[in-house]
Amino acid sequence: MIIVMKAGATKRERDEVIKKIKELGYKPHVIHGTTRDVIGAVGDERGKVVLQSIESMQGVENVVPILKPYKLASREIKKESSSIKISDNVAIGDKDIIVMAGPCAVENEEQIIEVAFAVKKAGAKVLRGGAFKPRTSPYSFQGMKEEGLKLLAKAREATGLPIITEVMNPENAELVAEYADILQIGTRNAQNFELLKKLGQLQKPVLLKRGMSMTIQELLMSAEYIMSEGNQSVILCERGIRTFETATRNTLDLSAIPVLKEKTHLPVVVDPSHATGNYHYVAPMAFAAIAAGADGLMIEVHPDPERAFSDGPQSLVPKKFALMMAKLRLFAEVSDRTL
């Protein structure tokens, strides 16, 4: 941690800061500058937040953290990229790019089985579908709940595809974990720390979506919550951040991929459907995500988007999804990946 003193800070103020640094168990190291002093506080980073409080001392301009606040998620701790095993045949983070596809919400048995076969045929490796749905409006369809989980399990049985579905409440995390192969934490729960801790205590892979206004560092801190409880199987998902632009629902931050690849060993997937909110833009952004180095994709596919209970405008019909997958394979190949 670096403490920057104000230009006119007195010797006495500086000495108070040095005293406080020592009190907190750090070793102070003063650099006398031409217009102001800077004090390095060397030591173990536990208690860091208390150091931040030095900012309220007289004569202090600001406090600059040097160390990254995450550890288990950091590539400094684990240099090789992690591969998260989902089922006997599927792992995320290896050479194989994993496409997770399916409807926004499970609506009925015919729909989910039909989509499951269609996405499998096109090359998807995981079936996605919401049973518990986080909806902005209390008056919107809230999902089929456990009934939806059962239908997902049927679709898995029929197709062999592992399934991913969202958990919204620590209270039914175990219930969802009984059915699902990957537990998804949605954007709006990305800093629901109680939920993060709960899923950290289960031994199921977790797909953690980036919050709408979450920095990359905060995303890694949320991953750290899960990992520090004992579950190392975390998959990160970029799904668009909130900006002033309204032509797309969110702004897909693809530069997060190389940044994350540098900072963490965890795999990174991208959800272009929620990011753009418009099926026209899904395929180009899927290609771009793979070109930028993503390990996988989440894609919404619905047989009849005009009738979808939710997110119709951003869903691909199975035929368009298959066309996209065919072209995606070419992008995977030139990226030295398989699909």
Stretch that binds a copy of itself, among 93-101, 156-164, 213-221, 231-239 (CB under 8 A): 213-221
Among 144, 233, 274, 279, binds a copy of itself (CB under 8 A): 279
Stretch that binds a copy of itself, among 83-91, 94-102, 120-128, 210-218 (CB under 8 A): 210-218
188 contacts a copy of itself (rule: CB under 8 A): yes
Q: Is 13 in the site for a copy of itself (CB under 8 A)?
A: no
Three state DSSP letters for 287-326: HHHHHCCCCEEEEEECCCHHHCCCCHHHCECHHHHHHHHH
DSSP state letters, 100-169 = EEE-SB---HHHHHHHHHHHHHHT-SEEE-BSS---SSTTS----THHHHHHHHHHHHHH---EEEE---
Least distance CB 163 / a copy of itself (angstroms)? 21
Q: Does 25 bind a copy of itself (CB under 8 A)?
A: no
Contact 325, 288 (CB under 8 A): no
Tell me if residue 64 falls in helix, strand or coil: strand
82 or 310: CB nearest a copy of itself: 310
C-beta separation of 299 from 99 below 8 A: yes
Stretch 32-71: interaction string toward a copy of itself, x if CB under 8 A: xxxxx-x-x-xxx-x-xxx-xxxxxx------x-xx-xx-
Question: Is 80 near a copy of itself (CB under 8 A)?
Answer: no
Q: Is 201 in the site for a copy of itself (CB under 8 A)?
A: no
Closest CA to 311 of 186, 179, 214: 186
Q: Give residues with Cβ within 8 angstroms of 59, minimum separation 6.
A: 5, 6, 9, 10, 13, 14, 16, 17
Task: Out of 22, 95, 174, 330, point to the residue binding a copy of itself (CB under 8 A).
Answer: 330
Least Cβ distance, residue 150 to a copy of itself (angstroms): 20
Smallest gap from residue 222 Cβ to a copy of itself (A) = 8
Nearer residue to a copy of itself within complex by CB, 232 or 276: 276
Stated as kind and residue range, the H or E segment containing 220 is helix 216-228
Residues binding a copy of itself: number (CB under 8 A)? 113
Cα–Cα distance measured from residue 273 to residue 313, given in angstroms and rounded to the nearest whole number: 9
Calpha distance 246→254 (Å, rounded) = 18
Stretch that binds a copy of itself, among 83-91, 123-131, 151-159, 187-195 (CB under 8 A): 187-195
Task: Please list every residue from 117 through 136 that binds a copy of itself, using CB under 8 A.
Answer: 134-136
**11 is a site residue for a copy of itself (CB under 8 A):** no
- 177 binds a copy of itself per the rule CB under 8 A: no
